[in-house]
Structure 1
């Protein structure tokens, strides 16, 4: 069985997935979606996927999608959409990735599903964004300004009322694409502060860690320390509800403790890294992902149609 691992870079994660696939008697081939294209003369399905000839993969694991122009990213996601329509299980599929990459859509779907998440605004109007910031600041709140498509804690700014000082909204044309995505800041519950990353696989929360940092940004890429954390029922239920709201096969769900012991979901990651989480987890995460793909997504499906 040949599985496509879509990634824009090979490394630790792809090696983990390939080893887990080998343990199940399957082969994982790493492919950049930028190298895939549409060719309606090449095969009945119209896709050209390097290494698969006229055939389709039995399934696909999405590990990374390179950035690019709007047209390039649309084509890459189109390949994932096409595979799903052609009956190839895609883990996570393009719809789930689109929901999680667009932070405003994530917030909207979490809110609609009743999953606790901080008050959030997304607007293209600088004047409206300014009014939101001034109103929140007057009420004593800080806001986190995030790039809509950002990751790893890059580009985050605290604005509004921060330690008794008002921080204004910056120029949205520089680094934010002319759009304000604003989320009310949750002050740290302890010093140093922390959040949780919970991994959900196949609809079930399987492991958790705390990301601890003296800085208010708790991403591992920004220097946070990974610590083991018990996967409590409250954490598991909240993370599972968030993954279900976005209809994800697997997800890295970021949660924070809030006032009164409440737990709020901050983000849901559809192409989540797990190297830091693996260091504090007692089982093979890649194997859990591969097992879920093969035993749930592929179970009962007819073999992919061949040319």
Structure 2
């Protein structure tokens, strides 16, 4: 039987949906915390110990969550994913792609490099340079958002530029890194889009309306509403996911009124949650994710087992 490790630091709604989807395809899925894995060169034959898999490795890995921690802890957890990939295990999304999406500055760099429309962005360690950016943008009647370089769910964002005398906040709260992005007004009531990309296809979209002021994250109280997945939204979201090398991605976009309401990519989430999107979508997202992993990443060994499973269900019916 094909065995999948779902890497997660917490179990619940998402992992239950994934396990059910894999089980329906004749695949065993087991939740594993990366913090419990280890590099062990005496652990033959692979030198990687994954709880629940003994001296063997999973047939594939689905990365659902990576716990925060010290720089060393996070580096080791990503190192486990790197080691699994080096050992021939398909990792969905792999460590390289997650590193690109977690680091907002690298995300912005890659989006810009691949011609994906995204707001102007600046990132550096110089407070003086960041203050000059703020002054220059304010002189042009624009605002900027300062964000933690690492972070999600709209936490730690600050909008700057309302006050003509406003100074850049202390960078202590941002670990001495200034990541600034030109503010795009989402209108009234404010909204942005979340588009889910699986493989190289945009599969669903929703509007996130309202929330905590100008921050439209589901975790900050925004309401999820169905949205048409227009060709423009789909194209830009897929290009963003491909630019970062992601197997699946949650792409956040906003309409830019100054550019004919063309969607701009704000962020790309490489460990995307989809509970909000599932609430306004008729098909089962976990099933699409399971199918994509098995068909595209694990086809050589998963296809025969899945064929047997499907045959068994058809015979039983």
Q: Specify every segment of 5 or more residues in structure 2 that has no aligned partner in the other structure, as ranges.
A: 304-317
Q: Helix, strand or coil for the counterpart of 1:255? A: strand
| Segment drifting more, 164-173 vs 207-216 | 164-173
| Residue-by-residue CA offset, 1:49-102 (whole Å, 9 max, x unaligned) | 000000000000000001111111111000000111111000000000000000
Structure 2 vs 1, CA of residues 126 and 301 (structure 1 numbering), >3 Å: closer, same or farther?
farther
Structure 1 residues not aligned, in runs of 5+: none
Which whole-Å deviations, capped at 9, do the CAs of 1:24-55 have from their partners, x for residues lacking one?
A: 00111111000000111111210010000000
Structure 1 CA distance, aligned partners of 2:278 and 2:165? Answer: 40
The answer to which structure has the higher helix fraction is 2
Q: 1:198·1:236 contact (CA, 8 Å) conserved in 2?
A: yes
**CA offset digits 1:260-296 (Å, max 9, x no partner):** 1211000000000000000000100011000000011
Contact between 1:159 and 1:166, CA under 8 Å: does it hold in 2?
no
- Counterpart in 2 of 1:281? 281
Counterparts of 1:31-180 in structure 2 under 5 Å? 31-160=32-161, 162=162, 165-173=164-172, 175-180=173-178
Partner of 2:192: 195
Find the aligned partners of 1:58 and 1:255 in 2 and give their Cα distance: 34
Partner of 1:212: 209
Aligned pair count? 299
> Any idea what the Cα deviations from partners look like across 1:161-214, whole Å, max 9, x if unmatched?
x2x6553210001x20000000000012x3101000000001100000000006
Query: With structure 1 as the length reference, what TM-score do the two structures score?
Result: 0.95
For the aligned residue pairs, the C-alpha RMSD in angstroms reads 1.3
CA shift for structure 1 position 302? 9.8
- Mapped contact 2:295–2:302 kept (Cα < 8 A): no
Q: Does 1:2 align with 2:3?
A: yes
- Verify the 8 A CA contact 1:120 1:184 in the aligned structure 2: yes
Secondary structure at 1:98 match in 2: helix
State how far apart, in whole Å, the 2-side matches of 1:87 and 1:302 are: 15
